[in-house]
Each structure stands twice: as structure tokens, then as C-alpha cells.
Amino acid sequence: MFHPQGLPSHLSALDRTLVMGVLNVTPDSFSDGGLFHDTSIAIEHGRAMANHGADIVDIGGESTRPGSDRISLDEELARVLPVVEALVADDIVVSIDTMRAEVAKACVDCGAAIVNDISGGKADPAMLPYVASIEKPFVLMHWRGHSNVMAQLTEYDDVARDVAAEISEQVSQAVHAGIARDRIVIDPGIGFAKTTQQNWPIIQELEILDELELPVLWGVSRKKFLGELLANDSGELRDMAGREAATTALSTYFALAGAWAVRVHDVRASRDAIEVVERLGRHHA
């Protein structure tokens, strides 16, 4: 298990896959839409995830649901900042899930420990220079375009290899902008500019990403490709809550493969899965 530089030391000391709990402070996010929009409820939910074993709580204010439009900078800041402040005050390690440098900066200034940019620096030209100016880990996700157009951006020759090559290119740009390579975490962006079926080879051939020799974060929790896998005989997708067991099965698989972290809604289930993997001995699996 290797960690990015700049991680809080109590997390760097852990020799297991980390669990990042998802905290979407959005009225329309696809998986927990609206539930945690209210600031105080969001804060309580973040605390509950920490109590259930989340190593990191990932706070996002902008929905990335397929087809969704962007919100304003002010709206995004108003959603995330009070939640970041409250959880940081509780000594919870917070990552900020944003494509905007200004949001990243405001949250890091309030104590956020990690910047998670689903565009890997491609959406906001100020993001890479900003991240280069701080000493925090940077989660760089594979990204081809905003949520309102990504369904049209799914042409690949060999999806697992193409995604790895495009991530490698994004990493080069980040390094070129001055971000130390050893602070970067990569993420193949499951569900982003991929058809549901295209997600599977990326997961099946996950060793291709290892060639980049960077820590890997996986975000599969409750995503549509699982709903489709578990659809009923009439073709109706499995509902969100009914996708948890499949999510946990994948957390087990990623932990066995030595993933740096999994980004999940049900923190306890994935922590338990990782405990089992550790008890069995990851390296002998």
C-alpha cells in the first residue's frame, strides 16, 4: 500500500485500503439526491460516516449526475464551506470534490486535506497551478467533458488501455504545471464518459493502471452499471439502496488488488470488507 505525499500522517501510517465516505451536499445528486442538502444534516451525516470508519469524508457541492448542468461558484461555496468547516473542527480528514480552483482554495484554507477534481484539472485552467502551490494530495480522475455532454464522449478502441493512456496524459499535464508526481492519486472515473458496459473492462483489467505506479482511488458506489447488472427480469434497474452489496463486493476486489482507497456511500460495509481482506492477507490472495 503506498500513499500520496502530503496525506495526514495518521493515514499514511495505515497499511490498508482507505475508505472515503461520499458526502454530496446537493439537491439533485443521483445517489442521495436532496437528502443531505440541509447543512446541519450534511454535517451529521459526515460525522456518522467518520464514526463508521471513514478515513476521509469527500464533500461535494456540484452534482455530476449524467446530464446535469453546472451551478454557480457562489452556490457551490455556500453548499460546501460550512460543512468543510464543521467536519475539520471535529478533526475529520476532509477532501473537497470540486472542479473549481476557487472552491478548492476556500476549502483548503478552511482545513480540507485533499483536493478531488473529477476533471483532473481540465475543467478550470486555474486548478493545476493552484494545486501546485499547496502541499496536499490531488485526486486526478479520468475525464473527457462535463456531465451534460459526457454521454456523447464514449468512443474508445480499447477502453481500459485508452483510459490509462489518457490518465497518463493528464498526469503529465499536472506534473508540467508543477504538481509533484508523488502527490497524485489517479482514478479511472467509473461512469464518466463511459457506457455502463465500458466500466467493466476497466475494472477487470485494473492492473493496467498499476503501470502508472500511482495510488488508485475507485468510485463505483451505487453507480448505474451496478443497477443495470442487477436489473430485474423486466429490465428495471436495481434501486440505489439495493446496489450496496454489489458495491461492497467491488470494495473487496479493489482491496485485494491493493487500491489506495474506495469512495463509497456505505462506509461501514466497505470498512468491514477491507478488514476481512486484511485478515486473510492481501498479498497471498
Q: Which residues pair with 19 in a beta bridge?
A: 262
* Cβ–Cβ < 8 Å for 238, 227: yes
Using alpha carbons only, give the angle 149, 117, 69 rounded to the nearest 5 degrees.
Answer: 35
Best CA proximity match to 26, nearest among 48, 45, 51: 45
Residues 118-177 binding ligand PMM (CB under 6 A) are: 118, 139, 141
Structural element, H or E, at residue 116: strand 114-117
Residue written as cell 476497466? 202
Dihedral of CA 105/109/111/113: which sign?
positive
Q: Which is nearer to ligand PMM, 65 or 105 (CB)?
A: 65
* Cβ–Cβ < 8 Å for 141, 118: yes
For residue 281, the minimal CB distance to ligand PMM (Å) is: 28
- The size of the interface with ligand PMM (CB under 6 A), counted in residues, is 19
For residue 234, the minimal CB distance to ligand PMM (Å) is: 25
Binding mask 66-105 for ligand PMM (x = CB under 6 A): -------------------------------x--------
**What SS3 class is residue 22?**
strand
Query: Residue 256: how many CB atoms within 10 A of its CB?
Result: 17
Among 28-36, 86-94, 208-216, 247-255, which window interacts with ligand PMM (CB under 6 A)? 28-36
Q: Which is nearer to ligand PMM, 234 or 266 (CB)?
A: 266
For residue 283, the minimal CB distance to ligand PMM (Å) is: 26
- According to DSSP, the β-strands at 184-187 and 18-24 are unpaired
**Amino acid at position 203, single letter:** I
Among 42-50, 144-152, 153-161, 214-222, which window interacts with ligand PMM (CB under 6 A)? 214-222
* Angstrom distance (rounded) from CA 109 to CA 102: 10
100, 105, 263, 271: which is the annotated catalytic residue?
263
252 binds ligand PMM (CB under 6 A): no
222 is catalytic: no
Question: Which ranges of 92-217 would DSSP assign to H, the alpha helix?
Answer: 101-109, 127-132, 159-176, 199-204, 207-210
Q: Which is nearer to ligand PMM, 264 or 273 (CB)?
A: 264
29 binds ligand PMM (CB under 6 A): yes
For residue 97, the minimal CB distance to ligand PMM (Å) is: 5
Q: Which is nearer to ligand PMM, 24 or 270 (CB)?
A: 24
Q: Which is nearer to ligand PMM, 210 or 278 (CB)?
A: 210
223 is catalytic: yes
For residue 187, the minimal CB distance to ligand PMM (Å) is: 4
By beta carbon distance, the residue nearest ligand PMM is: 219
136, 183, 194, 223: which is the annotated catalytic residue?
223
**Binds ligand PMM (CB under 6 A): choice among 30, 138, 143, 254:** 30
The contacts of residue 241 (CB under 8 Å, 6+ apart) are none
Dihedral of CA 44/45/49/55: which sign?
negative
Binding site for ligand PMM (CB under 6 A): 22, 24, 29-31, 60, 64, 97, 116, 118, 139, 141, 187, 189-190, 217, 219, 221, 263
**Catalytic residue ranges:** 223, 263
